[in-house]
Structure 1
Amino acid sequence: MAPVARTGANAPALLPSAQRADRIVIDKSERRMELLREGRVIGRYRIDLGDAPQGHKRRRGDERTPEGEYRISDRNPNSAFHLSLRVSYPNERDRRWAREHGVDPGGDIMIHGGSARWWREDWTDGCAAVSDGEIEEIWRRVPTGTPIRIQP
């Protein structure tokens, strides 16, 4: 089944501030993403990662999911994967490492929909994928600027 793009007019609205996440934590080894508000878990999701999930993303095309501190930098209601939230990879540390090693760090790391139980695990190019229903819930709870910690 191919991903379905949505029009921005059909994207779910953000929930009131008191119901929004103020932090996201992704645990790659557990394939888990948690939305937190004031230190309390308000959402927990199983995620699929990149084809090479172990280790920190270093360069374009390595299919790894980055590790470190980032922010949600943009929201795409017209994503090929239902809806997507852009992760601010590469950060300054990632860009510095890439410059020192003469590589392109890549980009376009997202939290997006498109996962289905019948898909194989870890199919993305470095993104964190959830089901379409879950990304709608996450979309409503996560505003642009939300900090995200991605840990090994």
Structure 2
Amino acid sequence: MRRIILKTLCLMLLCNMAYAMSNDYDIVITKSKQELAVVKGEQTVKQFHIATGKGGNGTKREHGDKKTPLGIYKVIDFKNDSQFYYFIQIDYPNLLDAWYGYKNNVISANEFKKIAVAYKTRQKPPQDTRLGGYIGIHGIGQQDDQQLQIHNGFNWTNGCIALTNEQIMELKQYVTIGTKVIIRE
């Protein structure tokens, strides 16, 4: 069973690479530098200071660990009415996150299958498994001097990537559904 799931995982990753390559810009997030870069080809077009998950280094493994995931994702949704001003959702958990979760008994085979089907059909993956969900890039929300000081001095999110409200509105002009988001340590 695991061998079939692994082969399916590899095939779907290859099939979706062409879809992710169709956008002009990529988003590259480097957690250790607290930096989000908008990249076109080899050129950095824009850079922003960010805050990430207060759970520290490493990748997100399950709901509640307050870590920002590491990996390659794509943008799947936008929300104007977010409590954090504006929200750009990524496809966490992706297939690799799901495979890790299945292999380590965090999610069931049925949950893995649901995530794999969502990935294959370019739908939003289930957001309610033990892996967690609703990860993305957002603003601060109610923005004042105190919130800006916290944002500039600490990683304060529950796993998302945060920009100021002005920066998230600037970033949104570079992002479409399917934009690749690379998150690295």
Q: TM-score, normalised by structure 1?
A: 0.82
Q: State the percentage of identical aligned residues.
A: 31
In structure 1, runs of 5+ residues without a counterpart are: 1-19
Shift of 1:38: 2.4
1:98 corresponds to 2:101: yes
CA distance in 1, matches of 2:42, 2:82: 30
Q: 1-side partners of 2:176 and 2:162: how far apart? A: 18
Higher strand share: 1
- Work out the CA distance in 2 between the residues paired with 1:53 and 1:143: 29
How far the C-alpha of 1:33 sits from its partner, in A, is 0.4
Deviations 1:59-82 (A, max 9, x none): 011000000111111111111101
**Partners of 1:84 and 1:48 in 2: CA distance:** 14
Equivalent position amino acid for 1:125 in 2: N
> Is the CA contact (8 Å cut-off) linking 1:28 and 1:53 kept in structure 2?
no
Quote how far apart the aligned CAs of 1:21 are: 5.2
Aligned residues: 133
**Residue 65 of structure 1: aligned partner:** 68
Partners of 1:75 and 1:21 in 2: CA distance: 18
Correspondence for 1:25: 28
Q: Does 1:45 align with 2:48?
A: yes
**Aligned counterpart, 2:182:** 149
Q: Unmatched 5+ residue regions in structure 2? A: 1-22, 107-129
Contact 1:53 / 1:126 at 8 angstroms: preserved in 2?
Answer: no
More helix by share: 2
* TM score, norm. by length of structure 2: 0.68
Q: Compute the displacement of 1:100 (Å).
A: 2.2
Which aligned segments of 4 or more residues in structure 1 are displaced greater than 4 angstroms? none
Matched, 1:110 2:136: yes
Structure number, greater radius of gyration: 2
Which residue identity is paired with 1:71? K
